[in-house]
Amino acid sequence: MPRMTMIEAIRDAHMVAMERDDDVVVFGEDVGYFGGVFRCTQGLQERFGRERCFDSPISECGIVGTAIGMAAYGLRPCVEIQFADYVYPAYDQIVSEAARIRHRSAGDFTCPLTIRMPTGGGIFGGQTHSQSPEALFTHVSGLKVVVPSNPIDAKGLLIASIEDDNPVIFLEPKRLYNGPFDGHHDKPIIPWSKHPLGDVQAGHFTEPLGKAVVRREGSAVTVLAYGTMVYVAEAAAEESGIDAEVIDLRTLLPVDLDAITKSVRKTGRCVVVHEATLTSGFGAELSALVQEHCFYHLEAPVRRVTGWDTPYPHAQEWTYFPGPARIGAALAEVMEG
């Protein structure tokens, strides 16, 4: 099986989807000739031509707005927002339009659109290259929200997103582009070539949207995570010696409630982790779901370990980023409860 980084897997997913369906078009800032600032679309223009993969003006509302029009025509656009931190100019188009066109027209028009955007911190990206805005999308009816954590999922979930008939927000943790990251920023980086999830099947395959995966089986406490935090949670479990079950949600909307309840009813405890800020973050929704559906199984209050309610800092990155030590402390705390 070919070894791929997450970048190569995303690129390969584009290749497969574009090869299979002439209606798939790819565009965004710097994605054409140059192949993207993270190289995720490298080679697509050369292979499929300028009409299938092209550079766009620097206008996020224009990128998403035109993509919606293309989807209404019958294409399957897969567009890139260079950083999730820059999606806000397109927010009106995403929330008021892409998410609602099917509903408001009673299915007369649809919006099979994928919007990719690098997300998350851990790279000294400061305020505007580190944000995790997933909660701004999980609050919007009509969207699907996907966050892969490894090359296999990145490819399988991206192909599934492009083939899905609904608008999908596809958040790519850029800290994971070249290798997994467990929050130990002082240790050398392990590349995907040395990780089993870097073994990516060639050709077409999909991973289902709306399905979580158990990354580490455990019996003491359930950790709900996605993106980079999956590895941080795994590290926290190993280092704390607490037998945590780590669930990689993969899709945040619609979320896999069955997988969550199954695990929490087994362990009786739950810690939710994400990089995004705490207040009204997606963790609040997860915590509420666990409380509603697993109340009589809970042995301790649900804990959330998240970014602080501040803009993402530069110099103080490792104080902000919820690393394995903070998660470990939370695991220990819920075990006392």
* DSSP letter for each residue of 242-277: --EEEEE--EEETT-HHHHHHHHHHHS-EEEEEEEE
Residue from the set 100, 204, 211, 297 that interacts with other proteins by CB under 8 A: 100
Measured from the CB of residue 31, what is the shortest distance to other proteins in angstroms? 14
Q: Which two tokens stand for residue 132?
A: 């995790």
Q: Any contact of residue 216 with other proteins (CB under 8 A)?
A: no
Q: Which two tokens stand for residue 78?
A: 């897969």
Q: State whether residue 196 is helix, strand or coil.
A: helix
Question: For strand 244-248 and strand 213-216, is the pairing parallel, antiparallel, or unpaired?
Answer: antiparallel
* Residue 129: active-site member: yes
Q: Any contact of residue 72 with other proteins (CB under 8 A)?
A: yes
Measured from the CB of residue 77, what is the shortest distance to other proteins in angstroms? 8
Q: Any contact of residue 165 with other proteins (CB under 8 A)?
A: yes
- Which residue, 167 or 328, is less far from other proteins as judged by CB? 167
CB atoms within 10 A of CB 256: 19
Residues touching other proteins, count (CB under 8 A): 46
Q: Any contact of residue 70 with other proteins (CB under 8 A)?
A: yes
CB burial string 107-143: b at 16+ within 10 A, e below:
eeeebbbbbbbbbbbbbebeeebbbbbbbbbbebebb
Q: Any contact of residue 57 with other proteins (CB under 8 A)?
A: yes
With CB under 8 A as the contact rule, which of the stretches 9-17, 98-106, 235-243, 315-323 interacts with other proteins?
98-106
Q: Any contact of residue 102 with other proteins (CB under 8 A)?
A: yes
Distances in Å between the Cα of 84 and the Cα atoms of 292, 308, 314 are: 31, 18, 17
Query: Which of the residues 14, 103, 129, 195 is marked catalytic?
Result: 129
Distances in Å between the Cα of 313 and the Cα atoms of 36, 119, 318 are: 25, 15, 9
- CA dihedral sign, ordered 90, 312, 237, 260: negative
Measured from the CB of residue 117, what is the shortest distance to other proteins in angstroms? 18
Measured from the CB of residue 188, what is the shortest distance to other proteins in angstroms? 42
Instruction: List residues with catalytic annotation.
Output: 129
Interaction site with other proteins (CB under 8 A): 25, 51-52, 56-57, 59, 61-62, 65-70, 72-75, 77, 89, 92-93, 96-97, 100-110, 141-142, 144, 164-166, 210, 254-255, 257-258
